[in-house]
Amino acid sequence: MHAGQGLTVLADAAKLNIAGGASIGRASLAQAMHSLADQIPTVQIEPGFAAVTPDGAVFGAPPRLAIGEPGSGGHTLHSIAERVDAPRVEAAVPPVASHVDVHPTSPTPGSYVAAPAGGAHSVTPDAATPDGARPSGSPSDGAIPDGASADGTANDAVGSVGPPADPVVMADGTLYTPELSDAGISAAGYSSFYESLPAVLDKAGVSMQEFRHLVESPVASLTRHEMSQLIDIRDSLPSPDNTGHLQKTIPFEQAEAIIEGKQPPLQGLQGFVARPVDTLGMTTQQLHDALGLNYPGSKYTSDLAARRPYFDVRFETPSGVHPSVPDSAIRWLHDAVPDNIVNITDTTARTTAIKVFWDGLPGPQKDIFEARYPSIGFDLPKALSLDTENPFRGSGFSGTGSGFVPEGTFGQTRIDIPNGAELWRTLPDGTREIVGVFGRSDPSAPGTWLLVDVTRSGAVAVVR
């Protein structure tokens, strides 16, 4: 069917809609629209570009008319057709999630003051540092959906929070009831990422499949419109940058040092964090994939292979401090990169042109961009090279492949572990056990970790 025939069919279907009954007419009209959409290609003019590499070489491409495969440009018409053919049933629409994570018992969301970005970049070492020490490396941890897979279907392996935590006997003989167990976090009433996502996508007019495409694609391959969609969705979701509880995964060796009482004890955290409600019931494999812990040289990957537990510190967000959203890369690409680069069809050529464009900017201009898009100079190369060995997306979402949730980061700014923070371990099957509680009675003095007495509490040995 060519375009002229398609328009004729559409006209006939419209007449049928009037003369033959609304439901029959809608079905015929929708069928005709789908048929026409199957033949529409993408058509765009690539304006071409020219660039000079730092060594003086000139490269580029002339303007050309780029025509895609039949059907590649029919997305909008398909969407309209689906709406035309949809039954007219009034249904209750769930409330759209706010970007602010509101506790159900509080009349208003908590007030938080942005912490300074700190450091030169937001991808930081292990994000957990002992007092006076900062190890090298660059992990990326976030979280995966609670109770659902990335395609929106139920996932029985994720989201099983278990019964409320029983009191445990601590090493000093006192009883302690964990406050930040999976059951405790679930009972707090926060909506998980995937509980909030359907209403957000519905408001944005984006399907789950389209959303997966947006998140899983390298940001440099997205059109400007797709970047805008992903930014708006990310801004509408509950996020680690404004929530009551946070969670930071720490390496096995750091947890082991806490348990063995090595000095100095862990006092501060930095780097990427997630909301605990977005990681409920996960196994170590799910945490590894969803937190993007597969970066080169990752200790978490070797821990996973050895079937060691994962450890995380859960804590209430300190007053006046919250992480930032690591989405400078996609925002800069959307706002600052010229059309003649963004419109390049070939992703490899577009990525190269973006790198050349950034490298060619004068120092003062880069400084302006760094102020507006924190850590862009460090984050951009990472985001442009997204692959199975580099999980940093640069869009504010964590994870590898289809595992993702909103992530936050403290960058290289170290925050003191707050009083009452809990250290939890996750076994390969997803079982969670509390390991210890952090106490800091004097904010100006170092804190201490009080461990669970595994003998009197009946718990399994903590590390081995």
The span from the CA of 205 to the CA of 190, in Å, is 24
User: CA angle at residue 441 from 439 to 446, to 5 degrees?
Assistant: 70
At residue 38, the pLDDT reads 64
Of 185-194, 208-217, 325-334, 434-443, the poorest mean pLDDT is in 185-194
- Flag whether pLDDT at 431 surpasses 50: yes
CB neighbours of residue 329 within 10 Å: 29
Of all residues in the chain, the percent with pLDDT exceeding 90 is 46
Q: What residues are paired with 130 via a beta bridge?
A: 266
Q: Tokens 């994720």 — which residue? A: 158
Buried residues in 202-222 as b, exposed as e (16+ CB within 10 A): eebebebebbbebbbbbbbeb
Where are the strands (E) in 180-262, listed by range?
245-250
Bridge pairing between strands 415-416 and 310-316? unpaired
What pLDDT is attached to residue 263?
Answer: 79
Does residue 173 register a pLDDT over 60? yes
Residues 297 and 137: beta-carbon distance below 8 Å: yes
Where residue 455 falls (left for φ over 0; alpha for ψ -120 to 50; beta otherwise) is: alpha
pLDDT for 73 beyond 70: no
Q: What are phi and psi for residue 444, nearest 5 degrees?
A: -90, -5
Q: How confident is the model at residue 166 (pLDDT cuts 50, 70, 90)?
A: confident
Mean pLDDT, range 89-110, rounded to an integer: 36
Beta pairing, strands 58-61 & 49-52: antiparallel
Interval 308-333: pLDDT, tens: 999 999 999 888 878 999 999 999 99
**Can you give the residue ranges of every domain in the chain?**
3-85, 128-326+398-457
- Is residue 420's pLDDT more than 90? yes
Mean pLDDT over each residue of the chain, to the nearest integer? 75
| Whether this model's pTM surpasses 0.75 | no
- Give the Cα-Cα-Cα angle 231, 216, 210 (nearest 5 degrees): 70
Token output for 208: 């789950």
The residue with tokens 């890369």 is: 329
Listed range (47-56, 164-173, 311-320) with the worst mean pLDDT: 47-56
Q: Six-digit token pair at 417?
A: 């572990």
Counted residue by residue, the chain has a size of 464
SS3 274: strand
Confidence grade of residue 388 (pLDDT, cut at 50, 70, 90):
low
107 burial class (0-12, 13-18, 19+ CB within 10 angstroms)?
exposed
Q: What is the DSSP letter of 157?
A: T
Q: CA angle, corner 121, sides to 115 and 126, nearest 5?
A: 90
Bigger pLDDT: 438 vs 454: 438
Is the pLDDT reported for residue 128 higher than 50?
no
Cβ neighbour number for residue 361 with a 10 Å cutoff: 14
- Please give the radius of gyration of the chain, using alpha carbons only, rounded to the nearest integer: 25
